[in-house]
């Protein structure tokens, strides 16, 4: 059907998956500009160009969108990723700094990708500062900015192929659409990302969160289980799985996951915090207090954001 955005994106993804980047570029250029996809169109066109080896053209296409406009941070990030993939570290650094300047408090994904680029551009101290900023929050996603996930995130490109760049773009928009009454489109984009990048952890995590909101707990567990144990987001996925198993009243499995995490990551407070929450809800107060005490002992400099743990 002409004008059917989902159908157009399915066809586009099919061409990407088959390496038909000339056709993919034509489809990306023809996408309508009157819907949510307008934010992604420049990046989809640029990644299609990169897919056929035209990295300079791709960067020229993104440049005006990266330097001005409503979606400049998104386009600057994708320009940085394309430059990084093309082996242009100085250009990649310039664009990633533009993306960061627009988001003083970067998301986890932006921090991971930007730190990887800065590390390769010879700016390891800047990369470390970015990850420290994320890791200082004791949110479950902060596990991806701490060791051993931290070293893994820095050691390889977050985006290794144009198809992976397209998946990244899909998930960025999918995350932005959540909470705006566009959850169905958000889920479609996450699934399209998995079509061109199977096993992509941010897409699986996003889908799992949507399934949890819809109380599709078994499906959410399956999505989380598909995240590779070596992925930087594996720790966060394990914490989500433990929470789900707790809600399903499968306490021994939840507790086993958390104790495995504690053994693997003895220096981190998050698994102990989650274990304390689960035990407290079961009125195992002495065990919960011990878990909380051990979590507190692993926070080097407690801050205002840690008040729930002390409470």
Encode pLDDT of 207-237 as tens digits: 999 999 999 999 999 999 999 988 888 888 9
- Rg of the Cα trace of the chain? 20
Peptide bond into 300 cis (omega under 30): no
Distances (CA, A) of 219 to 14, 170, 207, 239, 295: 25, 21, 9, 16, 30
| 129/134 Cα distance (integer angstroms) | 9
Helices (H) and strands (E) in the chain, counts: 18, 0
pLDDT at residue 169 in the model: 92
Model confidence band, residue 35 (pLDDT cutoffs 50, 70, 90):
low
The answer, yes or no, to whether residue 182 has pLDDT greater than 70, is: yes
Rounded CA-CA distance 77/247 in Å is 37
Q: Determine the pLDDT at residue 2.
A: 56
Phi, psi of 138 (to 5 degrees): -100, 25
pLDDT band at 51 (very low <50, low <70, confident <90, very high): very high
Please give the average per-residue pLDDT across 7-21, as a whole number.
90
Q: How many angstroms separate the CA atoms of 270 and 229, rounded?
A: 18
Dihedral angle over CA of 118, 122, 125, 127, nearest 10: 20
Q: How confident is the model at residue 297 (pLDDT cuts 50, 70, 90)?
A: very high
pTM over 0.85: yes
pLDDT at position 103, please? 83
Token pair, residue 298, equals 């692993």
Looking at every residue in the chain, the average pLDDT score rounds to 90
Confidence band, pLDDT 50/70/90 cuts, at residue 306: confident
């Amino acid at each position: 059907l002409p004008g059917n955005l989902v159908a157009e994106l399915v066809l586009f993804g099919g061409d990407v998956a088959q390496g038909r980047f000339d056709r993919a570029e034509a489809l990306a250029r023809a996408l309508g500009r009157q819907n949510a996809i307008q934010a992604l169109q420049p990046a989809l066109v640029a990644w299609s160009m990169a897919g056929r080896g035209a990295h300079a053209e791709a960067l020229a296409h993104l440049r005006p969108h990266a330097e001005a406009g409503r979606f400049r941070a998104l386009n600057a990030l994708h320009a940085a990723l394309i430059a990084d993939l093309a082996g242009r570290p100085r250009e990649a650094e310039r664009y990633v700094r533009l993306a960061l300047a627009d988001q003083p408090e970067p998301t986890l994904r932006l921090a991971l990708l930007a730190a990887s680029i800065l590390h390769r551009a010879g700016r390891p101290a800047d990369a470390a500062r970015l990850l420290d900023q994320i890791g200082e929050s004791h949110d479950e996603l902060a596990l991806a900015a701490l060791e051993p996930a931290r070293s893994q995130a820095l050691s390889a490109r977050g985006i290794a192929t144009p198809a992976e760049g397209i998946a990244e773009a899909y998930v960025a928009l999918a995350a932005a659409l959540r909470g705006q009454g566009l959850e169905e489109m958000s889920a479609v984009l996450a699934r399209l990302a998995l079509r061109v990048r199977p096993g992509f952890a941010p897409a699986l995590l996003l889908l799992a969160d949507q399934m949890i909101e819809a109380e599709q707990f078994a499906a959410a567990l399956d999505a989380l289980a598909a995240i590779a144990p070596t992925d930087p987001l594996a720790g966060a996925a394990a914490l989500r799985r433990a929470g789900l198993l707790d809600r399903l009243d499968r306490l021994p499995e939840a507790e086993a996951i958390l104790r495995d995490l504690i053994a693997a990551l003895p220096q981190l407070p998050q698994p102990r915090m989650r274990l304390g929450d689960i035990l407290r809800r079961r009125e195992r107060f002495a065990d919960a207090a011990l878990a909380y005490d051990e979590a507190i002992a692993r926070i080097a400099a407690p801050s205002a954001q840690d008040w729930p743990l002390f409470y």
